[in-house]
Amino acid sequence: MQAVQALQAASRFELTHTGLWAPYLRGLAHLSQRAGAEAATEFRKILERKGALFTSSINSSAILYPLAQLGLARAPAIAGDTASRKAYQEFFALWTDADPEIVILQDARREYEKLK
């Protein structure tokens, strides 16, 4: 809970491309607390600003879009909700050309398989 509160101060910067990291980190903090609905809200903030990510002068922020999609898939999956399968599929579509050895991709595939 302290992580979420600490990151709340960064919310005033969220309308900028650099501010997109704050909702991502808050989403991860909520996931770690098994607060799926709150996590989903944070990840949606990033997904709703897709244009800001890809037009950003900070290229590293572009990685947030697929990672936010994965976070959005993991949020309902915390409760075993199989409806998150579609969000996982969207994540996999974003990373079709990704190296299959990437650990986060391997983890996502295992999580997805558990939802069947």
Quote the tokens at residue 94. 């974003």
What pLDDT is attached to residue 21? 82
Quote the tokens at residue 14. 């969220």
Sign of CA dihedral 94, 45, 49, 55: negative
Residue for token digits 């697929």? 66
- Is residue 84 within 8 Å of 69, Cβ to Cβ? no
Mean pLDDT of 4-28: 68
Contacts of 50 (CB under 8 A, 6+ apart): 65
CA angle 79, 70, 6 (to 5 degrees): 80
Kindly state the percentage of the chain with pLDDT values over 90. 53
Q: What is the pTM of this model?
A: 0.79
What is the pLDDT of the chain when averaged over all its residues? 82
Mean pLDDT of 73-85: 87
| Separation between Cα atoms, residue 35 and residue 14, nearest integer Å | 21
- Cα 72 vs. chain centroid, distance in angstroms? 5
- Cα 66 vs. chain centroid, distance in angstroms? 7
